[in-house]
Amino acid sequence: MSYAAAPAMVRLPTWRARLVLVVFVAGFLVLLGRSVWLQVVQTEFLQERGEARYSRVLEVPATRGRILDRRGEALAISTPVKSIWAIPEDVKATPAQFEQLARLLDSGPRELERRIAEASRDFVYLKRQIPPETAERVAALGIPGLYQQREFRRYYPGGETTAHMVGFTGVEDTGQEGIELAFQSSLAGVPGSRRVIKDRLGHVVEDVEAIRAAQDGKELRLALDSKIQSVAYTALKNALETHRAKGGALVAIDVRTGEVLALANVPTYNPNNRARLTGAQLRNRVITDLFEPGSTLKPFTVALALDMGRLTPASVIQTAPGRLTIGNRTIHDAHAGGAMTVAQVIQKSSNVGAAKIALSLPREDMREMFRRMGFGAPPQLGFPGEAAGKVRDAKTWRPIEQATMAYGHGISVSLIQLARAYTVFARDGELLPLSLIKADMPASGRQVLSAETARAMRAMLEAATQPGGTAPRARVMGWRVAGKTGTAHKLEGGVYAANKYVSSFVGFAPVSAPRLVVAVMIDEPSAGQYYGGAVAAPVFAQVVQGALRLLEVPHDAPLTPIEIPGEDEVAEEST
């Protein structure tokens, strides 16, 4: 019996076993080192990268502060809306979905596809500020890559009536015009932020923490009275339609506080729908437009002469033969009046009389008087675009220029400057600071005329609204009124246009205890009438009557109907 030989055992070299052991140990050490590196050294970086895939910090918008009128009625409020945005490369939609999306966003499918296909952008807004219900219908389409952002849109209950005072905001909810722009910092508030966890589709699945709470904007209460504003706007709009005028402006000021109770401009616009907004509609004529005020400036020259003791209301000025030649220029009156008292110069609005009074005064004193009244400087309302007007240095005045400045030619003012200047006559010589914000107490002004002079001017200005004056159509039933008409040729290309006028009236009421100053300006009336007494004074009367009733101001005149005089019964002012 034979047996096969058993195979010999293979013995590996010792160095190979050691090599394998070293490789295993080295691999373990590398893994250990990598683990330490990732979990100790790179922990913060890796956490940030990980969180970047699911964690987001979202801005929490602050609610813009409401704007209210003095009675607490809302003039501007914020309503929640949504904006739709997309990451173009993530958007996946069928043609049918694009059709539906375009219909919801009021856009064309091709335009929508073009915007989404812009590869150079990783973020694009598809539609800003859409209603929440529309946003819900967009979300229901289930299109990947579309996202929503919560925002606020401003709504203006007063519409076109309060547009020029309140202004409006843009799509970023920042003020663009009016009060919205002037008080942007206090109305806007400060946005907050919060950390959330989102899924791969961008939906928030968990609200982790609030990082910073949003600070809502401050509520703002204006001096504006919505009811008086409505009366003012309606009266001004009707006047422009009646006289086929190019534009118009009106401002009403509370004599006790300096508050602007009404500020109206026509043409205007609807701040809730600005699709076809034009520059002419945006112009705030009360504050930004300058014009030659015409005869509404005569009372200031007369007041200076009275204050300096050069004249009294009974002093006689010879205006015959109704014209005055200075150098190669001649000043005319509408009708030759002969000898007039200073009071009659105001009542009849004599250019010749006013020019003679001006030429009797030092020109430096006249220039200083205009400056004291606030002309040539912004009214300091804090409102965008406040115009300063222009009053040239007295050293450059020629005699003819000094004479014409007495009746409002060669000087430019804004309507609000003119209205403020008339507070001097209503406040016994005190010039009031104006306020767009509701005041808590009566204002304290600066004395620029003596009280005696201011009262004398009040009597003269009341006579101008009585029969025989230039503004009997400014009278209202139940209250005494005072004021002055103005009619000036418009400047075009450095020369006065023959048939284009600016008609104005500035006055106050009631005369016994003035409460309101109202200034009206009508630009280029073209229906035949153009004198301030015929065009602007009736607007003043409508606004004053409505405002004094709303303010419950006691009557100081009989409650008898006012007879409106015919055209031949009204004294025409000189232009």
Please indicate, yes or no, if residue 232 is contained in any of the structural domains.
yes
CA 326 to chain centre: 43
Instruction: With a cut of 60, say whether residue 157 has pLDDT above it.
Output: yes
- pLDDT of res. 343: 96
Residue where the block lists tokens 């939609």: 93
- pLDDT of res. 48: 62
Q: Give 270-281 pLDDT, tens digit per residue.
A: 999 888 888 889
Rounded Cα gap, residues 230 and 344, in angstroms: 36
Burial of 88 (0-12, 13-18, 19+ CB in 10 A): middle
Q: Are 402 and 363 spatial neighbours (Cβ–Cβ below 8 Å)?
A: yes
Q: Which two tokens stand for residue 86?
A: 């997309």
Instruction: With a cut of 60, say whether residue 331 has pLDDT above it.
Output: yes
Asked if residue 302 and residue 171 are part of one domain, the reply reads: no
What is the CATH classification number for the domain harbouring 208? 3.90.1310.10
Catalytic residue among 83, 295, 349, 574: 295
Please indicate, yes or no, if residue 301 is contained in any of the structural domains.
yes
Instruction: With a cut of 80, say whether residue 210 has pLDDT above it.
Output: no
Residues pairing with 519 in the sheet = 251, 506
**Structural domain that includes position 519:** 226-269+283-569
To the nearest whole percent, how much of the chain has pLDDT over 70? 88
Among candidate residues 173, 185, 177, the one with its CA nearest the CA of residue 265: 177
Q: Give 220-272 pLDDT, tens digit per residue.
A: 999 999 999 999 999 999 999 999 999 999 999 999 999 999 999 999 999 99
Please indicate, yes or no, if residue 474 is contained in any of the structural domains.
yes
State residue 237 phi and psi, 5-degree precision.
Answer: -65, -45
Among candidate residues 170, 200, 198, the one with its CA nearest the CA of residue 184: 170
Rounded Cα gap, residues 516 and 423, in angstroms: 9
Among candidate residues 180, 172, 218, 220, the one with its CA nearest the CA of residue 61: 172
Distances (CA, A) of 384 to 288, 291, 381: 8, 18, 9
- pLDDT of res. 144: 84
Q: Are 366 and 394 spatial neighbours (Cβ–Cβ below 8 Å)?
A: yes
**Cβ neighbours, 10 Å, residue 298:** 30
Among candidate residues 505, 500, 479, 477, the one with its CA nearest the CA of residue 489: 500
Number of domains, the chain: 2
Please indicate, yes or no, if residue 315 is contained in any of the structural domains.
yes
Q: Are 457 and 283 spatial neighbours (Cβ–Cβ below 8 Å)?
A: no
Task: Identify the three-state secondary structure at position 131.
Answer: coil
Which residues 6+ apart lie within 8 Å of 107 measured at CB? 126, 127
Please indicate, yes or no, if residue 51 is contained in any of the structural domains.
no
Among candidate residues 499, 456, 479, 488, the one with its CA nearest the CA of residue 540: 479
Please indicate, yes or no, if residue 18 is contained in any of the structural domains.
no
Asked if residue 307 and residue 264 are part of one domain, the reply reads: yes
* DSSP structural state of residue 51: H
Among candidate residues 565, 541, 407, 543, the one with its CA nearest the CA of residue 477: 541
Q: Which two tokens stand for residue 58?
A: 């979202």
Average of per-residue pLDDT across 330-351 = 92
Asked if residue 192 and residue 242 are part of one domain, the reply reads: no
Asked if residue 318 and residue 176 are part of one domain, the reply reads: no
Asked if residue 296 and residue 164 are part of one domain, the reply reads: no
Rounded Cα gap, residues 159 and 161, in angstroms: 6
Please indicate, yes or no, if residue 32 is contained in any of the structural domains.
no
- 130-144, 308-322, 421-435, 447-461: range with lowest mean pLDDT: 130-144
Asked if residue 564 and residue 546 are part of one domain, the reply reads: yes
Asked if residue 339 and residue 208 are part of one domain, the reply reads: no
What is the CATH classification number for the domain harbouring 399? 3.40.710.10
Asked if residue 340 and residue 250 are part of one domain, the reply reads: yes
Catalytic residue check, 414? no
Burial of 141 (0-12, 13-18, 19+ CB in 10 A): middle
Please indicate, yes or no, if residue 5 is contained in any of the structural domains.
no
Among candidate residues 514, 541, 293, 553, the one with its CA nearest the CA of residue 425: 514
Rounded Cα gap, residues 235 and 163, in angstroms: 16
- pLDDT of res. 483: 97
Average of per-residue pLDDT across 99-110 = 83
Q: Are 447 and 458 spatial neighbours (Cβ–Cβ below 8 Å)?
A: no
Rounded Cα gap, residues 447 and 432, in angstroms: 9
